């Protein structure tokens, strides 16, 4: 493949180059995957109003997210095991985001550690936090994010327990991969990936291994994580995290108006309309369909962001029109990373900005700040 014209091109290339268990980890949902599919499919019926004879010069996609200037209203979402899509994946993605001028969000379950990534990230370096039973570890993790210069904390609220992800169970997902006959045969067909992994020492969860009592290697990690996600997580814990952190706080996983109002009451700076990429509650509403009701409920009191299903700049434009101040891309940048490393992530961002800019112009706008739902064809988009 010599010409990359869209994210789908990169997805197909990543599928060829990334070991099956890690590609499937990125490109799958829970149970029947109905919500995973709906996240992407529900953008399609939303139609744009084409305008003509409008001056299209001087186009700008620049915006702000929680007060930080960005090249476009897009951030790289937190994704676990990013460093297993490509060697040193979190570092490469952070470098691409920094060069382009958008935030990069590091997952608690990253392969590269906070400290590793901090050396390469820009001012838009955000850290995503899972709250676990070991509050001492979580407190130290928050402090490490502060010390690393993270400018925002993204607290994920929709993973108190792990959704049933059938592909991961069937593949026997682990990092690094366990040497079964199937995994070895698969790795033999991925020489580029294997060579990259042979050259790096980062092959385990850098934020966890060596930082919690009783976990010094990967053999001890799976048992620890299975016990640590906290099903008792509640809004009092959000308040504790907010006080411990003391900086910009974004709450991820909001799908319901009542929870959105509680997010406002918590004093958070932003919320993310998200169903965890369809990886938790299968059968939940797609993010783009949930977005308008959340905006209607709280949009003037807190920044509303969204993730789920965004594969193009036109999807970003539609989300913006429906009230999202910002959007997040997870799978899209992982496809680029798995396909071409740092250059692939940069390519995804370039494609999305170009698609966003052109689609915006065709609807009669030259500044992303002026976009609202008037660019959408009535009757084709969800309403609150």
Residues 51-108: tens digit of each pLDDT = 999 999 999 999 999 999 999 999 999 999 999 999 999 999 999 999 999 999 999 9
In a domain, 294, yes or no: yes
Q: For residue 218, what pLDDT is reported?
A: 60
Q: Which residues are catalytic?
A: 276
308 is in an annotated binding site: yes
Which residues contact residue 40 at a Cβ distance below 8 angstroms, ignoring those fewer than 6 apart?
309, 311
Q: Which domain does 310 fall in, by range?
A: 7-375
Q: How many domains does the structure of the chain reveal?
A: 1
313 is in an annotated binding site: no
Residue pair 281/275 in contact (Cβ under 8 Å)? The answer is yes
Q: What φ, ψ does residue 128 adopt, rounded to 5°?
A: -95, 135
Q: For residue 384, what pLDDT is reported?
A: 84
In a domain, 267, yes or no: yes
Residue with tokens 């744009």: 48
C-alpha torsion angle, residues 112, 76, 291, 352 (rounded to 10)? -150
Q: Is the peptide bond before 62 cis (omega within 30 degrees of 0)?
A: no
In a domain, 186, yes or no: yes
Measured distance CA(24)–CA(13) in Å, rounded:
14
Residue pair 331/28 in contact (Cβ under 8 Å)? The answer is no
307 is in an annotated binding site: yes
Q: For residue 366, what pLDDT is reported?
A: 98
In a domain, 382, yes or no: no
Q: For residue 323, what pLDDT is reported?
A: 98
Nearest to 271 by CA among 299, 247, 245, 290: 299
281 class by beta-carbon count within 10 Å (0-12 exposed, 13-18 middle, 19+ buried): middle
36 is in an annotated binding site: no
Q: For residue 227, what pLDDT is reported?
A: 83
Residue pair 76/85 in contact (Cβ under 8 Å)? The answer is no
165 is in an annotated binding site: yes
Q: For residue 321, what pLDDT is reported?
A: 98
In a domain, 314, yes or no: yes
In a domain, 384, yes or no: no
CATH number for the domain harbouring residue 200: 3.20.20.70
Residue pair 295/384 in contact (Cβ under 8 Å)? The answer is yes
Per-residue pLDDT of the chain (384 residues; tens, 9 = 90+): 579 999 999 999 999 999 999 999 999 999 999 999 999 999 999 999 999 999 999 999 999 999 999 999 999 999 999 999 999 999 999 999 999 999 999 999 999 999 999 999 999 999 999 999 999 999 999 999 999 999 999 999 999 988 999 998 898 887 778 889 998 999 999 999 999 999 999 998 999 988 887 776 665 666 787 788 899 999 999 999 999 999 999 999 999 999 999 999 999 999 999 999 999 999 999 999 999 999 999 989 999 999 999 999 999 999 999 999 999 999 999 999 999 999 999 999 999 999 999 999 999 999 999 999 999 999 999 998
Q: What pairs with residue 43 in β-bridges?
A: none
Tell me the residue length of the chain.
Answer: 384
Provide the token pair at 187.
């790795």
116 is in an annotated binding site: no
Measured distance CA(363)–CA(70) in Å, rounded:
22
Q: For residue 217, what pLDDT is reported?
A: 62
Measured distance CA(93)–CA(87) in Å, rounded:
11
In a domain, 380, yes or no: no
The region, left, alpha or beta by phi > 0 then psi within -120 to 50, assigned to residue 214 is left
In a domain, 383, yes or no: no
274 is in an annotated binding site: yes
| pTM across the whole model | 0.96
């Amino acid at each position: 493949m010599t010409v990359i014209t869209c994210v789908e091109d990169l997805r197909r290339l990543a599928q060829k180059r990334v070991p099956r268990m890690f590609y499937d980890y990125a490109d799958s949902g829970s149970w029947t995957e109905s919500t995973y599919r709906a996240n992407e499919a529900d953008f399609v019926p939303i139609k744009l109003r084409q305008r003509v004879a409008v001056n299209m010069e001087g186009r700008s996609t620049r915006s702000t997210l929680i007060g930080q200037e960005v090249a476009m209203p897009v951030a790289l979402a937190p994704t676990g095991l990013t460093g297993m899509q490509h060697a040193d994946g979190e570092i490469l993605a952070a470098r691409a985001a920094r060069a382009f001028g958008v935030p990069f969000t590091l997952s608690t379950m990253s392969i590269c550690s906070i400290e590793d990534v901090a050396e390469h990230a820009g001012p838009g370096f955000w850290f995503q936090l899972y709250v676990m039973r070991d509050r001492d570890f979580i407190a130290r993790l928050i402090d490490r994010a502060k010390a690393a210069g993270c400018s925002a904390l993204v607290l994920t609220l929709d993973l108190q327990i792990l959704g049933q992800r059938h592909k991961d169970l069937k593949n026997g997902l682990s990092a690094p991969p366990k040497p079964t006959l199937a995994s070895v045969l698969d790795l033999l067909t991925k020489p580029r990936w294997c060579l990259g992994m042979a050259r790096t020492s980062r092959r385990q969860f850098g934020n966890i291994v060596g930082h919690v009592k009783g976990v010094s290697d990967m053999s001890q990690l799976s048992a620890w994580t299975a016990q640590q996600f906290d099903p008792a997580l509640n809004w009092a814990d959000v308040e504790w995290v907010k006080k411990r952190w003391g900086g910009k706080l974004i709450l991820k996983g909001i799908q319901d108006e009542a929870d959105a109002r509680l997010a406002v009451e918590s004093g958070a700076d932003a919320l993310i309309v998200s169903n965890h990429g369809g990886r938790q509650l299968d059968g939940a509403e797609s993010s783009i369909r949930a977005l308008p009701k959340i905006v209607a409920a709280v949009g003037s009191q807190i920044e509303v962001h969204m993730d789920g299903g965004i594969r193009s700049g036109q999807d970003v434009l539609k989300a913006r029109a429906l009230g999202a101040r910002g959007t997040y891309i997870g799978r899209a940048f992982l496809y680029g990373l798995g396909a071409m490393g740092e250059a692939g992530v940069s390519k995804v961002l370039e494609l999305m900005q170009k698609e966003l800019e052109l689609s915006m112009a065709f609807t009669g706008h030259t500044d992303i700040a002026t976009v609202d739902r008037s660019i959408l064809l009535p009757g084709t988009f969800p309403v609150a």
